[in-house]
C-alpha cells in the first residue's frame, strides 16, 4: 500500500507509545525509519518497526533506556546502551560529543548494548549540516565472507561519512557487503537471479539463486579491499566498544537476543576551518564533469537520496500490507 | 638488479646526505621506501628516491623542514609541512599526537605542504604496534574518474587503518582506485592488457590498452562505493588541512611543483581497552575459516605484506638499474 510520511509517523508513534516508549524517543525512532523510506532505503524503513516492538515485548529492548555515559578521556566516550533503542542511545551520545568537540576538536563515542541504529546516513548528515565532520560505523550479524572464504565471518559493517558543504553536505553511507541481505530476500521474493560473485549458499558454494543465498553469505564489495575495510571496521568497533565479534553478534535481526553489536561515532569540529567554500566549489565541479552517459549526470554521494526524498515527500512511498497491519495491531 | 635492504639503505642514505638532508631525516626517508620494497610495493619504493633529490635540487622540497605545529583545539593539530620530506613531517606530527592522545583519547593531525608520504601502512602499523588505533589518508594528483564519469576528478586517495592485535596488528592500506597508475605503467612496459573496467583513455573512453590508459584515468574500486569513499576522503582531507582539491593537486609525481596534497592522521588510544585479546582470537578464527581454495588460506590484512617482508629480508629485492645508477650519481 501507498502511504505518506505524516500517516506513517502517526501510526508508528501510536504503536510505540502503546508499548511504553516515551514520546520523544518514539518520535526519534519512527522518524529515522520514515526518513529511510523517503530516501529509498526500505530495508532500513518501517518494516523494522514491528520487530522493535517485538523486542520490547520480549524484554530484550528497554524502551526507556538512553544509555550510560563514561568519559574515559577528554575526547573518548564509552556508552553502555542498556539495551535501549538504537537511535535514542546514539543521539544522546552524539549530543554529548557535539558539546565536547568545541574544546577537543575531535571526539568519539564507542557504543555497546544498544539496538539497531537504522540508516547511518541520517546521523552523519545531521552532524554535517551543523558544521561537523562525522564518521559512523556499526557491526551486524556475520553475513559477509572473507575474500577467498566460504562462510560468513564479518558483518555488513557499514561506514558513513558526512562532510559539510553547501547547500547540502556530502553524505556517504555504504555497507561493506556487495549487496544487502535485505536485497537478497527481495530478489528471492521476486524470483530474480543474483549477479555472479555476489553470494555463496549455505554450503559455501557460489550461487546466483537468491533463495539459496539467504542461508549463505554475501561477498565483500570491491573484492579484497572491501573485505579488508569490513574486517578492519569489525575489530575497530569491538576494540573500542567491547562489542561482540563475527558470529557472536546477535540482535539486529531477531526479537529474542540482546543486541551485541557495537557502534563508533567520530565527530570533528570543522566549524572554524575554511573548508566549506572550496569543498562546495569542488563538489560542483565534479557534478559538472562530463558523464559517460549524457543522460546520467555525475552525482555526489547524498545527491540521489535527497532527490528521492524530495519526490517521496510529495508522492509518498510504499509499505507492505503486512508491516502496516502489524503496526495497526500494535497501536491497538 | 638484485639488492639487499642494507645496501639500499646505505646508498639511499649517502645520496640524501649529499643533498643536504640531515642524517635522521635521511634515514627515515630511505627506511620507509626500503620497507615498501620489502613488503612488495615497489611503486612506493626506491624508484621514488631520485625524484626526492630532484625536488630538493629544484627547490620545491626543503630537506631540513619538519613542519610547524599549531594545536587548534586540544585534540586537533594543524601542520604546515613547510615543503618538508613527507615521512619527516608525518612522523613529527604522529609523535605529537602520540604524546597528546593519552589525555584526549583521540587526536588528529591535518597536514598540508609536505611531500609524498610513501606507503601509508608503515605509519599505521608503527602506531598500532604501540597500542594505538590509527587511521591515515592522503590525497594525490587527480587520477580517478567519478562513477559514471569520463575524466579524473579525484586522487587515488588511499585509506590505511592499523588496529592492535597479537602478535602483529591488523593493517589495511588501500587505494580507492581499482589499480594504481604505477601498475598501469608496469602493464604498459610489459605489453599486458588491462582488465575491462579498470581505466579510460585520454578521451574518456574505456580502454584495456595500458599504454593508452597512462594519459587517461583509473576507475574507482568497487564501483559507486569506491567512488563515494574516494571523494569523501578528498574533501575530508582538504576541509581540515586546507590542501588543494581534484585537478589542483600537484607535486607527488613531479619535480617542479610544491606539493599541494594533504594528509590526515587520526590516532585513538586503545592501550587501556580490553580489545586486544578478543581481537586476536577473532582474527585467528577468521584465518582458520575454510577457504574456497584449500591452497589459499584466508589472510588478514597485513599478513601478506609481513610474509613477503620476511622472505625479502633474507633474499633481497629487485631495483631497476636506472634507479640504482641515478642514486649512485646523486651519492657522488
A148 in contact with chain B, both atoms CB, cutoff 8 A: yes
pLDDT in tens, chain A (332 residues): 999 999 999 999 999 999 999 999 999 999 999 999 999 999 899 999 999 999 999 999 999 999 999 999 999 999 999 999 999 999 999 999 999 999 999 999 999 999 999 999 999 999 999 999 999 999 999 999 999 999 999 999 999 999 999 999 999 999 999 999 888 988 998 899 999 999 999 999 999 999 999 999 999 999 999 999 999 999 999 999 999 999 999 999 999 999 999 999 999 999 988 889 999 999 999 999 999 999 999 999 999 999 999 999 999 999 999 999 999 999 98
Is the pLDDT at B68 greater than 90? The verdict is yes
User: Which residues of chain A make contact with B225, given a CB cutoff of 8 A?
Assistant: 174, 221-222, 226
User: What is the distance of C-alpha B178 from the center of its chain?
Assistant: 15
Q: Answer whether B278 touches A (CB < 8 Å).
A: yes
State how far the Cα of B51 lies from the Cα of B63, in Å rounded to an integer: 13
Residue A16: how many CB atoms within 10 A of its CB? 27
DSSP 8-state symbol, A73: E
Nearest-Cα distance to chain B for A217, in Å, is 13
**How many residues are recorded in chain A?**
332
Report yes or no: B148 and A303 within 8 Å, Cβ to Cβ.
Answer: no
Scanning the structure block, which residue is given the C-alpha cell 533506556? A65
Q: Which three cell numbers stand for residue A100?
A: 565536547
Test A149 with B290 for CB contact under 8 angstroms: yes
CB B136 within 8 A of CB B127: no
Say yes or no for a CB contact (<8 Å) between B105 and A174. Answer: no
B17 Cβ under 8 Å from any chain A Cβ: no
Please state, in angstroms and rounded to a whole number, the distance separating the CA atoms of residues A56 and A28: 16
> B291: helix, coil or strand?
strand
B78-110: string of b/e by CB count within 10 Å (b at 16+)?
bbbbebbbbbbbbbbbbebbbebbeebbbbbbb
d(C-alpha A319, C-alpha A43), whole Å: 11
Report the residue from B76, B170, B245 with minimal CB separation from A235: B170
Q: What is the pLDDT of residue A26?
A: 98
| Torsion (CA) B14, B19, B25, B26 in degrees, nearest 10 | -20
Domain ranges (residues) in chain A: 2-60+315-331, 68-269
Q: Are strands A262-269 and A317-318 parallel, antiparallel or unpaired?
A: unpaired
Residues in CB range of B302: below 8 A, 6 or more apart:
B121, B125, B168, B169, B170, B171, B172
Q: Do A231 and B301 touch (CB under 8 A)?
A: yes
Q: Determine the residue of chain A that is closest to B291 in CA distance.
A: A149
Which of B56, B2, B68, B3 has its CA nearest to residue B29? B56
Q: Which of A92, A109, A21 is nearest to A62 (CA)?
A: A21
For residues B202 and B34, give the distance between their C-alpha atoms in angstroms, rounded to a whole number: 33
- β-partners of residue B177 are B220
Determine the residue of chain A that is closest to B144 in CA distance.
A286
| Contact with chain B for residue A321, Cβ under 8 A | no
Contact list in B for residue A195 (CB cut-off 8 A) is none
CATH architecture label of A68-269: 2-Layer Sandwich (3.30)
State how far Cα B18 lies from the chain centre: 25
**Nearest Cα to Cα of residue A276 among A110, A164, A127, A158:** A164
Nearest CA in chain A to B102: A73
Alpha helices in B206-289 (DSSP H): 210-213, 224-241, 276-287
Positive or negative CA dihedral for B118, B120, B122, B124?
Answer: positive
Question: Which H or E run includes B137?
Answer: strand B132-138
The pLDDT value given to residue A273: 83
Give the one of A106, A229, A300 whose C-beta lies nearest to B172's C-beta: A229
Percent of chain B, pLDDT > 90?
Answer: 95
Tens of pLDDT, residue by residue over B10-52, are: 999 999 999 999 999 999 999 999 999 999 999 899 999 999 9
Give me the pLDDT at residue A272, please: 83
- The pLDDT value recorded for residue A274 is 81
Nearest to B268 among A153, A240, A292 (CB): A240
Size of interface A-B (CB pairs under 8 A): 251
B277 CB-near residues (< 8 Å, 6+ apart): none
DSSP string computed for A257-301? S----EEEEEEEE-TTSSTHHHHHHHHHHHHTSPBSSTTS----T
| Cβ within 8 Å of residue B186, ≥6 positions away | none
Chain A from 232 to 271: CB within 8 A of any B CB: 232, 234-236, 238-240, 242, 245-246, 266, 268-270
Q: What is the C-alpha separation between B255 and A123, in angstroms, rounded?
A: 43
Q: Is B66 left (phi over 0), alpha (psi -120 to 50) or beta?
A: alpha
A8 CA to chain B: closest CA distance, Å?
A: 30
Under a CB-based contact definition with an 8 Å cutoff, are residues B279 and A235 in contact?
Answer: yes
Which grid coordinates are listed for A13? 508513534
Determine contact: B69 vs chain A, CB below 8 A. Answer: no
Q: What class does CATH assign to B2-60+315-331?
A: mainly alpha
| pLDDT tens string B189-218 | 889 999 999 999 999 999 999 999 999 999
Question: Quick check: A276 and A164 in contact, CB under 8 A?
Answer: yes
Contact call for A246 and B282, based on CB within 8 A:
yes
Q: Residues B272-322: pLDDT tens digits?
A: 888 899 999 999 999 999 999 999 999 999 999 999 999 999 999 999 999
Which residue do the cell numbers 597485513 mark? B302
How many angstroms away from the CA of B178 is the closest CA of chain A?
8
A104/B104 CB distance under 8 A: yes
Distance from the Cα of A131 to chain B's closest Cα (Å) equals 11
Q: Label residue B83 by pLDDT band (50, 70, 90).
A: very high
Give B-chain residues touching A155 at CB under 8 angstroms: none
Three-state SS for A239?
A: helix
The answer to whether A288 faces chain B, any CB pair under 8 Å, is no
Q: Chain B 76-135, CB below 8 Å of chain A: which residues?
A: 76, 101-108, 133
pTM (predicted TM-score)? 0.98
For cell 533463495, what's the residue? A211
Which residues 26-65 of B have a C-beta within 8 angstroms of A? none
Between strands B106-114 and B76-84, the pairing is parallel
Enumerate the residues of chain A whose CB falls inside 8 A of the CB of residue B101.
73
Q: For CA atoms B123, B125, B130, B136, give the dihedral sign.
A: positive
State pLDDT tens for residues B130-177: 999 999 999 999 999 999 999 999 999 999 999 999 999 999 999 999
Helix B49-58 and helix B23-38: axis angle, to 10°?
150
Q: Is the pLDDT of residue B182 over 90?
A: no
For residues B213 and B200, the answer to whether their CB atoms sit within 8 Å is: yes
Which chain A residue is nearest to residue B265, measuring alpha carbons? Answer: A106
Strand B68-73 to A76-84 pairing? unpaired
Helices B23-38, B86-104: crossing angle, 10 deg rounding: 90
Inform me whether the C-beta atom of residue B290 falls under 8 Å from chain A C-beta atoms: yes
Residue B42 sits at φ, ψ, to 5 deg, of -60, -20
Amino acid at each position: 500500500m501507498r502511504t505518506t510520511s505524516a500517516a506513517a509517523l502517526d501510526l508508528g508513534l501510536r504503536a510505540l507509545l502503546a508499548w511504553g516508549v516515551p514520546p520523544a524517543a518514539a518520535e526519534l525512532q519512527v522518524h529515522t525509519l520514515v526518513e529511510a523510506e523517503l530516501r529509498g532505503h526500505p530495508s532500513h524503513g518501517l518494516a523494522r518497526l514491528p520487530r522493535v516492538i517485538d523486542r520490547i515485548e520480549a524484554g530484550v529492548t528497554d524502551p526507556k533506556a538512553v544509555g550510560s555515559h563514561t568519559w574515559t578521556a577528554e575526547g573518548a566516550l564509552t556508552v553502555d546502551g542498556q539495551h535501549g533503542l538504537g537511535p535514542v542511545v546514539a543521539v544522546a551520545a552524539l549530543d554529548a560529543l557535539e558539546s565536547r568537540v568545541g574544546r577537543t576538536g575531535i571526539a568519539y563515542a564507542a557504543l555497546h548494548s544498544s539496538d539497531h541504529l537504522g540508516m547511518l546516513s541520517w546521523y552523519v548528515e545531521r552532524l554535517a549540516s551543523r558544521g561537523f565532520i562525522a564518521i559512523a560505523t556499526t557491526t551486524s550479524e556475520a553475513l559477509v565472507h572473507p575474500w577467498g572464504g566460504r562462510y560468513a565471518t564479518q558483518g555488513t559493517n557499514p561506514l558513513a561519512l558526512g562532510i559539510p558543504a553547501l547547500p547540502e553536505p556530502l553524505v556517504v553511507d555504504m555497507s561493506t557487503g556487495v549487496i544487502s541481505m535485505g536485497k537478497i530476500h527481495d530478489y528471492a521474493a521476486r524470483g530474480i537471479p543474483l549477479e555472479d560473485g555476489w553470494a555463496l549458499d549455505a554450503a559455501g558454494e557460489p550461487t546466483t539463486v537468491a533463495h539459496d543465498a539467504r542461508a549463505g553469505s554475501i561477498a565483500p564489495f570491491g573484492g579484497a579491499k572491501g573485505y579488508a575495510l569490513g574486517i578492519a571496521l569489525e575489530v575497530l568497533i569491538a576494540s573500542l566498544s567491547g562489542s561482540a565479534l563475527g558470529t557472536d553478534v546477535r540482535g539486529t535481526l531477531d526479537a529474542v537476543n540482546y543486541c551485541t553489536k557495537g557502534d563508533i561515532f567520530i565527530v570533528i569540529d570543522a566549524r572554524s576551518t575554511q573548508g566549506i567554500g572550496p569543498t562546495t566549489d569542488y563538489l560542483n565541479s565534479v557534478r559538472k564533469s562530463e558523464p559517460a552517459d549524457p543522460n546520467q549526470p555525475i552525482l555526489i554521494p547524498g545527491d540521489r537520496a535527497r532527490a528521492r526524498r524530495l519526490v517521496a515527500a510529495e508522492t509518498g512511498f510504499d509499505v507492505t500490507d503486512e508491516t502496516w497491519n502489524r503496526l495497526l495491531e500494535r497501536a491497538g
